[in-house]
Amino acid sequence: MPSSRNEADACTLLDTDHKAVKKLFKAYDDLAHSTARDARQKKLQLAREICHELTVHATIEEEIFYPALREALKETEALAEAEVEHAGAKDLIAQIEAMDEPDEMFDAKVKVLGEYIDHHVKEERNQIFPKARAVRGLDLVAMREELLARKEELMGVEV
């Protein structure tokens, strides 16, 4: 049975991650325009937090959410696109993590990563989540628990 709109499901959990990382990108953007002495160090820390959050999020989608949908859906083109988007984001994440000093290119890479993620989130919200919620027999509430447990494991802390 499809989960009701009021019940927290896998899509709700993933979208909560989307909203949290959006706030991190906003905080980074605010810092990018700051002239505070410690802004450079804060940007570096915030960028690393963004990269970690996105890496964990992509991992739980790729290990649990996408395979379950790929099995349940007839039309998987949106999933293929999402996986390509993940690959592009992972490439930028690797570039950002390899940099030790936040400079103009660092800011540009974080900004472009944010734009990639905005696009990816819109596609998930508008295409993938509605399809997932419409699939009969796909228990998104149970999947939420599985995603959360894996997320906690990857984060190394209670979420």
> What is the C-alpha radius of gyration for the chain, rounded to an integer number of angstroms?
17
Taking alpha carbons only, the member of 64, 57, 73 closest to residue 143 is: 64
Q: Which domains does the chain have, with CATH numbers?
A: 10-155 (1.20.120.520)
Q: At what angle do helices 104-123 and 39-60 cross, to 10 degrees?
A: 30
> Per residue in 86-98, pLDDT tens?
999 999 999 999 9
> Residue 145: which residues within 8 A CB-CB, separation 6 or more?
none
Query: How far, in Å, CA of 10 to CA of 144, rounded?
Result: 4
pLDDT over threshold 50, residue 3: no
Average pLDDT taken over every residue of the chain: 91
pTM: 0.90
Asked if 122 contacts 78 with a C-beta cutoff of 8 angstroms, the reply is: no
